[in-house]
Amino acid sequence: MEIVAFGVQSDERPLIEKAFEGHHDVRCLDVFLTEDTAPIAAGYEAVSSSVNCGLGHRVLQTLAVGGTQLIAQRSTGFNNIDLEVAERLGMTVARVSYYSPHSVAEFAWTLAMAVNRRIVRAATRTRDFDFRLDGLMGRDMHGRTAGVVGTGKIGEAFATIAHGFGMNLLGWDIAENPACVGLGMKYVPKERLLAESDLITLHVPLMPQTHHLIDAAALRAMKDDAILINSSRGGLVDSRALVTELREGRFTGVGLDVYEEEAGLFFLDKSLQPVEDDTLARLVTFPNVLVTSHQAYYTEDAVGQIIDTTVRNVLDYAEGRRSENVLVPRS
């Protein structure tokens, strides 16, 4: 079987090629799957997509006409794929249902501590041999309250680290995680979590029910000196409402590894082009905001697991097997 993989980063390419070696031929492309690039997949039975590839009706139709029968998504999230259209076209869709939760949880903590202790500002100053401490004061995390929105595997890993810091734990989810309860977490309504937490971290999937989960009202419910971290999906936070609150001087820090309009921006070099997204342009100007480019998952361990699972999904498809990773089964 011939496979074409879209949106492959330079660090990923040798890992993908090695993983498929001896199984199937794979062509790795650094371009993302869009309406313009979808015709490239003509003649390929399997297409591997990344999280920022848009697989709406037009793209899927083009892929189906070109002979593609399998979409192997290299991520856990799949909100970028129109599953109903894929099923109607007779396409199989699989994802990576699990990879190292520590990669994202540890990065969420990296963002939290970076904005709390003003690491970016401090590093920029010392490069200019400015060693003043003015404006660099942070806070101890010990004894403060961490609110974990979404307590699955990643939320649990984040809570475990917070427990190590000696923090109080509040959780919000549709079901309690016994491991989190064992750490001393109290499950409370979302409104209470927002109002009482010093640090709020988001670890829920993006779906219609969670779109703009953190909207204007939720932001206003938070403490003025709270820290907000989003390393899950950009659409969980109303970015415009966030800008409004930041302009009022609220929040100790905000760490965003994702952004709701990141498609077409993240993973690309836009440094020589005019910034068209006014909201993102405003966000990065706030001194208490740190934006990174959807890299929380990007460790050797997690990427290796993602690629291994993707290979397994392709092999399962070729051999007629079905696993828990299949979103739309083979017709």
For the annotated catalytic residues, the residue numbers are: 233, 262, 294
For residue 145, which amino acid is it?
A: T
Distance CA 328, CA 331 (A): 9
3-state secondary structure at position 172: strand
* Token pair belonging to 316: 């399962």
Distance CA 280, CA 286 (A): 11
Distance CA 211, CA 213 (A): 5
* Token pair belonging to 80: 């970028």
What does DSSP say about strands 168-172 and 92-94: parallel, antiparallel, or unpaired? unpaired
What number of other Cβ atoms are within 10 A of residue 291's Cβ? 17
3-state secondary structure at position 230: strand
Return the beta strands (E) in the chain as ranges: 2-5, 25-28, 46-49, 70-73, 92-94, 145-149, 168-172, 186-187, 199-202, 227-230, 253-256, 289-291, 326-328
H or E stretch covering 309? helix 300-318
- Secondary structure (DSSP) of 14-83: HHHHHHHTTT-EEEE-SS---TTTGGGGTT-SEEEE-TT--B-HHHHHHHHHTT--EEEESSS--TTB-H
